[in-house]
Structure 1
Amino acid sequence: MRRNWAARLRRFTLDGMAAVTLENEVLRVTVLPGKGGDVVEFLHKPTDTDFVWLSPQGLRDPAHHLHGAADDVAQFIDHYEGGWQEIFPSGGAPSVYRGARLAQHGEVAGLPWQCEVVADSPELVSVRLSVRTRRLPYRLERTLTLAAGRPVLEVEGRAGNDSGLPLHAMWGQHLVYGRPFLRPGCRIRLPEGVRVVPHHSPINDAGRRVRAGGPWEWPVVPADGGGTTDLSVAPPQGSPSDVVYITGFPEGWYEISGEIGVRIHWDATLLPYLWMWQEFGASTAYPWWGQAYVLGLEPFAGMPTDGLASAVANGTALTLEPYESKVLRWRAEVLV
């Protein structure tokens, strides 16, 4: 009999794709092993608040919507339902690495993952997802765990190099937030002393330092030719779109809060960069059409969003030695 109290899980299909829900008294998390292991629901039940942004285009199965040879951007964008993705082994724009052409945001976000139940008791539920990349000799695992009574999702990822050669990778957590949780005026907190590197700046130590709790201002050049962006607060609808990078974390964490909040904690020694992606409705062409109000705060190994080859060239890419595995632990916690 399926348990319907304390910690519990349920496996099912969602729009034809394999799905699993981990749930307890206060939190419900829905994951799609059938599509990249995407987290498409992170719902705080007492306040009916889902922190995950969902795209207006809805959920699309990549296996059913590829017509001919899709371009390297469409493979991700045309099937992007929002949600939270694992990004590996390349982040951002298409890139060529050692003869392997990697599409937008790499390989694993568009692949089906295997799923096995690790624990299923009233005290704890846990599932392990696994996948192998097709163009590079990598294997990835992610184990998601939810304990009874706690509004905390624990995630352990493992990236393994199955070859006898040293290889590079960009590894990231594509965590994005939108309405109804994210609204203008929501506050963003970061550790003391981190610094901001604008998208088009070279990697160096001259990035502007910011104070914990803000206000932090990073100069940008929006359409009107002037102004600044305050990175400590979600801006109004229609504000300029941009990407910046934050680094120098003494400890990997951030918080976003309004009436309720979420805190992400991760290993910043492994993922030393936080990509801040801002799309608040200013983009009126493909693929957003002015419909998005979304903020991405994405821990990453490597930058910028130009793909793996650029990260290798500037020295920020992750290196996995022959047959080496690296383990990443991170968690998402609701703040009330």
Structure 2
Amino acid sequence: MRRNWAARLRQGTIGGIRAVTLENERLRVTVLPGKGGDVVEFLHKPTDTDFVWLSPQGLRDPRDHLQGAADDVAQFIDHYEGGWQEIFPNGGAPSEYRGARLAQHGEVSALPWECEVVADSPQEVAVRLSVRTRRLPYRMEKIMRLRSGTAALEVEGRATNESGQRLHAMWGQHIVYGRPFLHAGARIRLPQGVGVIPHETAINPPARRVRAGGPWKWPTVPADGGGETDLSVVQEPGSPSDIVYVTGFQEGWYEISGHIGMRVEWDASVLPYLWMWQELGASTGYPWWGRAYTVGLEPFSSMPTDGLAAAVAGGTALTLEPHETKVLTWRAEVMA
């Protein structure tokens, strides 16, 4: 019989998409190997708090959604249920790299991953997810682990260049927060001494939260309309949409908290940047239509969000030598 205490896991489907749930006394984490390895639930059971933002359009199986004009942005947006995504080898806008056209946030977030159970005991449960990209010769793997008695998800990821060519990539964790956890006045804490670089242009023109230019010192930065704004405080619904890049991490970590909190730690030698995406309802056209209230705090290898070719040109792209494997460890823990 299925174990229903301590650390345990179950496999099934959600909306026809393969799913696996890792659970213990304090935490329930649901992952979709059938769609990008997305995390679609990160529930702290004692407070009934789910940290994951869920898009108003809901979960859509890419296999059942074939209508509409094809473009390299819609490929991600049409099937974006919210959740947390693995982003590789292209981050942000569509890009072309050495003849390969890469869609927004492509490729692995749009692909089904293989899944196998590697630990299943009352002490811990773990699954290994793996996938090969289709346009570039990479293999991705991640082990997701939950230990009994903890409120932390532990992840070890691997990116392998399976070719004899020197290649580039962008690698990121698209971690976004939403209601009911996220609310105006929630606080974001980062290590001392980090800096802020605004995105060059507004993502929802003409309004933006942070004045172009910089770099600025975290957390109080020049506001676009004059004065200052405190980036450590989540703003009210309807506040300007924006994206900034946080740099200068000696240790990779952040905390976001209100009545309860989350701490994310990662290897800053692999992901030296943090993308801070704020979509608080000000974007009233495609694709949000004023319905989004979310903040993304996304550890990334590279910047800006203009795609792999721009990261290569700017010198921030990851470099993988022939047959090289890069390893990334990160963890997300509830602070209660």
TM range (shorter): over 0.9
Residues in 2 aligned to 1:177 and 1:184: alpha-carbon distance in whole angstroms: 12
In structure 1, the partner of 2:186 is 186
In structure 1, the partner of 2:200 is 200
In structure 2, the partner of 1:330 is 330
In structure 2, the partner of 1:292 is 292
Residues in 1 aligned to 2:94 and 2:237: alpha-carbon distance in whole angstroms: 29
In structure 2, the partner of 1:213 is none
Tell me how far 1:66 sits from its aligned partner: 2.0
Give the TM-score of the pair, scaled to structure 1: 0.95
In structure 1, the partner of 2:117 is 117
Residues in 1 aligned to 2:110 and 2:67: alpha-carbon distance in whole angstroms: 15
In structure 2, the partner of 1:307 is 307
Residues in 1 aligned to 2:167 and 2:137: alpha-carbon distance in whole angstroms: 9
- Report Cα offsets for 1:274-332 as digits up to 9, x if no partner: 00000000000011111111000000011101000000000000000000000000000
- Extract unaligned runs of 5+ from structure 1: 211-215
Distance 1:123 1:230, change over 3 A: same
Residues in 1 aligned to 2:181 and 2:254: alpha-carbon distance in whole angstroms: 16
- Report Cα offsets for 1:193-231 as digits up to 9, x if no partner: 000011119xxx962222xxxxx222242xxx4454311
In structure 2, the partner of 1:149 is 149
Give the TM-score of the pair, scaled to structure 2: 0.95
Tell me how far 1:117 sits from its aligned partner: 0.2
User: Percent identity, aligned pairs only?
Assistant: 75
Residues in 2 aligned to 1:291 and 1:69: alpha-carbon distance in whole angstroms: 22
In structure 1, the partner of 2:319 is 319
In structure 1, the partner of 2:220 is 217
Letter in 2 for 1:256: I
Residues in 2 aligned to 1:141 and 1:22: alpha-carbon distance in whole angstroms: 17
Residues in 1 aligned to 2:312 and 2:102: alpha-carbon distance in whole angstroms: 14
Residues in 1 aligned to 2:223 and 2:155: alpha-carbon distance in whole angstroms: 35
Residues in 1 aligned to 2:239 and 2:127: alpha-carbon distance in whole angstroms: 39
Residues in 1 aligned to 2:150 and 2:68: alpha-carbon distance in whole angstroms: 46
Letter in 2 for 1:207: P
In structure 2, the partner of 1:84 is 84
Distance 1:275 1:322, change over 3 A: same
Q: What stretches of structure 1 move > 6 A for 4+ residues in a row? A: none
SS at match of 2:46: helix
Residues in 1 aligned to 2:113 and 2:131: alpha-carbon distance in whole angstroms: 5
SS at match of 2:295: strand
Residues in 2 aligned to 1:274 and 1:73: alpha-carbon distance in whole angstroms: 22
Q: State yes or no: 1:108 paired with 2:102.
A: no
- Report Cα offsets for 1:206-258 as digits up to 9, x if no partner: 62222xxxxx222242xxx4454311110101000000000100100000000
Letter in 1 for 2:260: I
Residues in 1 aligned to 2:266 and 2:7: alpha-carbon distance in whole angstroms: 24
SS at match of 1:173: strand
Q: After the TM superposition, which residues 144-293 of structure 1 pair with which residues of structure 2 at under 5 Å, given as runs?
A: 144-200=144-200, 207-210=215-218, 216-221=219-224, 225-293=225-293
**More displaced stretch, 229-238 vs 262-271:** 229-238
Tell me the C-alpha RMSD between the 2 structures: 1.3
- Extract unaligned runs of 5+ from structure 2: 202-212
Residues in 1 aligned to 2:141 and 2:168: alpha-carbon distance in whole angstroms: 17
Distance 1:68 1:187, change over 3 A: closer
Distance 1:176 1:186, change over 3 A: same
Letter in 2 for 1:169: A
